[in-house]
Structure 1
Amino acid sequence: MRTIALYGTESGRAEAIAETIARTFPDRDVEVVNMADAETGIFRPGILYLIVCATHGGGELPGFAQFLHDDLADLSPDLTGVTYAVFGLGDTGYVGKYNRGSHQFDELLTGLGATRVGPFGEHDESTHEDHVALGTQWVQAVFDATAP
């Protein structure tokens, strides 16, 4: 199955995860796409989307990720048959807003008919764990869950 790692970032951490996924799993031929360069038509059945999204500021999506999110919300395309997985980056120090950006994408995609597969991955900045290592472990679990 074709795989697209779609990332939304302010600091570059989500991009680092997406790029590492592509390098770590060359047999998956993962295409890495910045949400800043994505349009709503990118979502099609038959492709596995790896949504790697940070939370910015007080629980908002990164700037360009917000544009894609708003376009999807406004156009409301039917995403039935689209499969995706989510990995969020946030900080539990922001009570009530931890990983809110990734959860916003999850809620929107599900609401448009897409199906989330595999575990919902999360990185908490306050733990000082390696976000790239956690992202790589997460995607392995997603690939395992979606194996034929």
Structure 2
Amino acid sequence: MAAVILYGTETGTGELVADAIADVLAADYDPSIYDMAEYAAEDLDTDDFLVVVCSTYGEGELPSSALPFADELDEEKPDLTGLRFAVFGMGDSVYDDTYNRGGEIMAEKLTGLGATQVGEHFRHDASSAIKPAKAAEEWAQALPALIDQA
């Protein structure tokens, strides 16, 4: 099973996190990494395992690079039944009500189209001392077991 990592970012941290996750998966799954701005909803394949990395921007919105993909999901409404995915969200807990909304929005869009979220929905806190790429490496250690469940 192939692993596809999609990231949505405003400042580039999402790409660094995606790279860290890919490093963990590289030995067994030959992961592909794409900016959501450059990935078409029609390319989603239920035979792949999807990893979504998404930051939160502004007042709980999706980052700019995630918007084209999210808009396409809303317009095309592909049937994603059978697609399994995991989410690594990023946000800052100083924004109580909107903390980590970007990852939550993407998860809601995917599950609303029939996909199944598996594993821990990780919520990285920019106010913590833990670097996002380091947290992603640790979180990604659990992904092989989830990928192999298919």
Cα distance in structure 2, aligned partners of 1:41 and 1:25: 24
1:129-140 residue pairs with structure 2 within 5 A? Answer: 129-140=130-141
- The superposition leaves residues 106-143 of structure 1 with CA deviations (integer Å, 9 ceiling, x where unpaired) of 00100100011111111000112111111112121122
CA contact (8 A) 2:20 2:134 kept: no
**Deviant stretches of 4+, over 4 Å:** none
Partner of 1:85: 86
| C-alpha deviation, 1:41, in angstroms | 0.9
Gaps of 5+ in 2: none
Partner of 2:36: 35
CA contact (8 A) 1:119 1:142 kept: no
| 2:147 matches 1:146 | yes
Counting aligned pairs with the same residue, the percent is 39
Cα distance in structure 2, aligned partners of 1:73 and 1:53: 17
Partner of 1:16: 16
Query: One-letter code of the match for 2:85?
Result: Y
Query: One-letter code of the match for 1:65?
Result: A
Cα distance in structure 2, aligned partners of 1:146 and 1:34: 21
| C-alpha deviation, 1:68, in angstroms | 0.8
TM-score, length of structure 1 as denominator length? 0.94
1:1-148 residue pairs with structure 2 within 5 A? Answer: 1-27=1-27, 28-148=29-149
Gaps of 5+ in 1: none
- The superposition leaves residues 1-55 of structure 1 with CA deviations (integer Å, 9 ceiling, x where unpaired) of 1001100011111100111222233222011111110111121111001000000
TM-score, length of structure 2 as denominator length? 0.93
* Secondary structure of the corresponding residue to residue 127 of structure 1: coil
Cα distance in structure 2, aligned partners of 1:101 and 1:21: 18
